[in-house]
Chains A and B, each alone.
Chain A
Amino acid sequence: MNHDLSPSTEPMHRRTWLAAGGTLAAGALAAPLAWYAGRQPAPVFVARHQRYDGPLVATLRDGLLATGFDPATIAAKRVLIKPNLVEPSRLVPHMTTHPAMIVAAAEVFRAWGAEVTVGEAPGHVRDTEMALEESGVGEALRDGDLTFADLNYQPTAWCRNRGRRCQLDGFHFPRSVVEADLVVSLPKMKTHHWVGVTCSMKNFYGVLPGIKYGWPKNVLHHNGIPQTVVDINASLPSTLAIVDGIDCMEGDGPILGSRKSMGVVVVGQNLPAVDATVARMMGLVPQRIEYLSLAQGWLGPLDDGLIEQRGEAWQSVASPFHVLDEPHLQKLRAAQSGALFS
């Protein structure tokens, strides 16, 4: 691991420069926009009774295979794993992706021959080394001999906004993102006090560098959170999602909510489908979450009938999350009676 947690400085690969020219080259795998063309149902895998000290490698491998992932497509390719380390604190471990999930995901992709990097641009803290130490991820990466890319400070390449739901013409993606053949969103399953849910799609705010977008990434806020979430997802190379739903956050997420134990892991190659499934588990209506609504039928399906459940049925693990007693959040709830949180 690079203990300096700083960008390495090798020249960008050719593909980066292609991207810098305005056309993000397609990775070896299908890009998110491909879903629109096919309209095929999107498989989502749910595993229950999961623990951080359990056989997570087997769970993730099973989940990826169950959702149709072909390991041969990433042999000798670059995989970037992007956890959620937005504002880590030892006092709130359920805020951030658990280190065991990151290491397990890395082990799966490495075993399939991929070159794995873990990367993050923490949204609320400039000291990335602090973010790694507070979250416990730094120690896990050292133990696992994993490379970390500090996306807040890497050289960037400008990539065209392929979504155009917001006014931004493009995004400055860090080198590790542009050069990745597959970017894996590895979020924590949490409520979010502005947009309702933060999961695999919203987690990709953390691929944009603070040095360009600020701490917080206020350029995105000013261009609309739902719109920029969708546009970032539409503009990235190929992606998939692995959700840490073991110890989750409810109430005043994404920073100060309460811990909620769910014991689930969710896996899928279509991020809107994954997030819609997670929202249902949380007792929220995916179509009422604005960024999911914007993605519906274009980046992926939200309708339960268009999502093929693999592993456990989401209904068997659903457990409504507390949400703040605010009108913009209460309207997201599937059941309008029951516990509030304020």
Chain B
Amino acid sequence: MSVANRIIEALAAATPGGYGWRGVHYSEPTAWAALALMAAGEMKSALRACYWLARVQQPCGAVGISSADDQPAWPTALAMLAWQRWNIAADEDRYADSIERAMAWALSQQGSTSPRKRQIGHDTTIAGWSWAAATHSWLEPTAMFLRAGVELGIGSHPRFVDAKRLILDRQLPAGGWNYGNTIVLGQELLAHVQPTGIALWSLAATGCPRSEVQHSIDYLNTTIDERTTATSLGFAVMGLTAFAAADARHQQLLEAAVERALQQPTSTYKLSVLACGLQSLSQSLTSTPQVANSL
């Protein structure tokens, strides 16, 4: 059995799931699992994940971090993505109401803004999405909501236009992203692999020209190697394939990471991110960038 098939088999058995290899089920891992399972054609398992997400959705439309914890609700973005892709793949509107309520909630949420300060390099006046209510906008939640908005066909909504602007504004001058700070007290901060992958994955869906992110693509290509850990690698490959910038070396790295993950008890989160990366790469190496970008 191929590496791709084995990880999907393991993921199907671990869905819904969490950040640990057993125990409490969380929304983010379950949503990534739904995306990976759908891409692999494992629709029965994917539906189980989508159903679980719908079950934990609150009347206000938000999807909290776990079945036991309804706040904060940043995984709502990923739940919308999962439901939308299910509706498209199954050619039905099973989750139309869930999506509508989730998007209404998402658009009612906004990271806090503040006047620009000389100590902070990024534009603090741009609103995106925060991790927790009533706090500043940060990179990954904004990227997740942007991707959801674009896939739902409302990428031209001012909130998503701002979200794209925010992500580009938070790009480090030397390339790459971190959690969402660029320059503090005059010093440029460090880039990290995982947020860089997620930012690229999100921006690619907007039609962002490669020239605007080339130095971040370069950052990933020069940084990731056999020491890169599983989820960072999975997200990095998703970001690179979204811009048709992945190659056979990335496939080797990712397959080795999957092999390691399958040799021990592994969380749904790690399995799902690795599977998403592997599938996006497989599509990228065998088809057009547009198709690869579908993951």
Contacts and interface: CB of A to CB of B under 8 A. Distances in A.
User: Do A and B actually bind?
Assistant: yes
Contact of A219 (B65, B132, B192, B193): B132
Interface string B121-161: 00000000011101110101000000000000000000000
Contacts of B69: 156, 212
Contacts of A156: 69
B76 interface: no
Interface string A202-231: 000000001111111011011000000000
B179 A6 contact: no
Contacts, number: 121
Interface residues of A, number: 39
Contact of A130 (B19, B131, B189, B232): B232
Contact of A125 (B24, B65, B194): B194
A148 interface: no
B21 interface: yes
A336 interface: no
Interface in A1-45: 3-4, 6-9
B179 A4 contact: no
A307 interface: no
A6 B18 CA distance: 9
A221 B26 CA distance: 26
Interface string A123-142: 01111011001000000000
B229 A130 contact: yes
Given A129-B229, A130-B232, A216-B179, A6 B19 contact: yes
Nearest to B273: A127
Contacts of A129: 229-231
Nearest to A152: B19
B interface secondary structure, majority: loop
A33 B69 CA distance: 30
Nearest to A216: B179
A213 B185 contact: no
Which of the four size classes fits the interface of chain B? 35 or more
Contacts of A115: none
A199 B23 CA distance: 34
Contacts of B65: 211-212
A302 to B, nearest CB: 26
Contact of B187 (A153, A210, A216, A256): A256
A11 B132 CA distance: 27
Contact of B231 (A8, A87, A127, A256): A127
Interface in B157-195: 178-179, 184-187, 189-190, 192-195
A7 B20 contact: yes
B185 A9 contact: no
B270 interface: yes
Given A130-B192, A130-B229, A153-B20, 11 more contacts: A7-B18, A7-B20, A89-B190, A126-B140, A214-B131, A214-B132, A216-B179, A219-B132, A221-B136, A252-B185, A255-B189
9 contacts: A4-B264, A7-B18, A127-B231, A129-B231, A133-B227, A193-B184, A214-B132, A216-B179, A218-B130
